[in-house]
Amino acid sequence: MKNISTLNIAGGNAAAFARQYGIFIVLLILVIFFTIVSENFLVSNNLLNIARQVSMMGIAAVGFSFVLLLGGIDLSIGSVITLVNIVAAYLMVNADWHPAFAVIAALLLSAAIGFSNGWIISNIRMPPIIVTLAMLIIIEGVAYLISGGLPIFGFTKSFAVIGQGYVGPIPVPVIIMAVVMGLGGFILKKTYFGRYFYAVGGNEEAAKLSGIDVNRVKYLVYTLSGFFAGIAGIVILSRTNSGQVLSGKGFEFDVLTACVLGGVSVTGGVGKISNVLAGVLILGVLSNGLVLMDISQFVQMVIKGSVLMIAVALDCLQHRKAS
């Protein structure tokens, strides 16, 4: 075959450009739209507000996109957030632990839950959707058992810095998100195990035959998913200043939507952290804009559900086209 790469640049790159940056264009259009319909949208206060609101989603989305890359799913992250809220709150208030130790214990717990998901999925070979759904119910139950369904509050002031503090004009949660996302990007691009995520997600058997310890990769990915959800949980706890059994409810849905919007394929093997950030921001801008426009919560649900449906549909259509 002849090499005509020079000739083909125009046609090939338009499609590639759309795939790569289309999501940022969508974000831009949304921003322009809300700027026009609401005068309160494009003001620095509101923008920082959006950034702070999405930061928890952004933190959890890193681990979640790893799981999607593997071709799996982790429905338990919302419950992990809830449990982390309850456990950390309980340890600080009822057991009188220092916040630092309570945070560490809660994060270790979230990582352990993630590891359990990964262990069951790879050793018992159960479908990830069932394993993590069962886990969701189990740990939500545990959260209720610990708290009796009641909120736990009364933390020391210093703990509030994580969720409510600022460094200069930037909210601390936004900084945590930036660090976590940077770490996520580094893992995917630079580390060997990050590169394994793509190989395993693309073709598990071939990856195994190439010398990748597939089970270990799965343990790692689900552990990271639990761990990052745990960090998001701590930020939420610090923001709301009260441990509540509903704090993580439905969180997995927003995170899934953000990841798929950000171009992480639900069939595994394809995705980038920078685009996930765009997905997270789109969802944040959408929620914020709809609130500013005073659109009811129920209408918002319809809109968000439709966004997920469309995002997954586009992903699937692209796959069909490729094959």
* 84, 110 Cβ separation under 8 angstroms: yes
The 8-class DSSP code of residue 269 comes to S
- Nearer to another protein by Cβ, of 24 and 193: the residue is 193
- Nearer to another protein by Cβ, of 30 and 260: the residue is 260
Q: How many C-beta atoms lie closer than 10 Å to residue 243's C-beta?
A: 30
Cα distances (angstroms) measured from residue 297 to each of 35, 49, 306, 310, 313: 21, 19, 14, 20, 24
CB of 167 to another protein, least distance (A): 28
- Tokens 């900084």 sit at which residue? 175
- Nearer to another protein by Cβ, of 58 and 262: the residue is 262
The footprint of another protein (CB under 8 A) covers 1-5, 7-8, 12, 190-193, 195-196, 198-199, 202-203, 205-213, 269-270
- Nearer to another protein by Cβ, of 213 and 253: the residue is 213
* 84, 280 Cβ separation under 8 angstroms: no
CB of 89 to another protein, least distance (A): 34
- Nearer to another protein by Cβ, of 219 and 251: the residue is 219
- Nearer to another protein by Cβ, of 6 and 297: the residue is 6
Can you tell me the distance from the alpha carbon of 3 to that of 72, in angstroms, rounded to the nearest whole number?
38
CB of 322 to another protein, least distance (A): 9
Can you tell me the distance from the alpha carbon of 114 to that of 80, in angstroms, rounded to the nearest whole number?
9
CA 208, 210, 212, 213: dihedral to nearest 10 degrees? 40
**Helix orientation angle between 44-69 and 214-240, rounded to the nearest 10 degrees:** 160
CB of 199 to another protein, least distance (A): 5
- Nearer to another protein by Cβ, of 11 and 169: the residue is 11
CB of 187 to another protein, least distance (A): 8
CB of 196 to another protein, least distance (A): 7
**Which of helix, strand or coil describes residue 205?**
helix
* 55, 171 Cβ separation under 8 angstroms: yes
CB of 9 to another protein, least distance (A): 9
**Which of helix, strand or coil describes residue 260?**
helix
Residue in 258, 262, 261 with CA at minimum distance from that of residue 232: 258
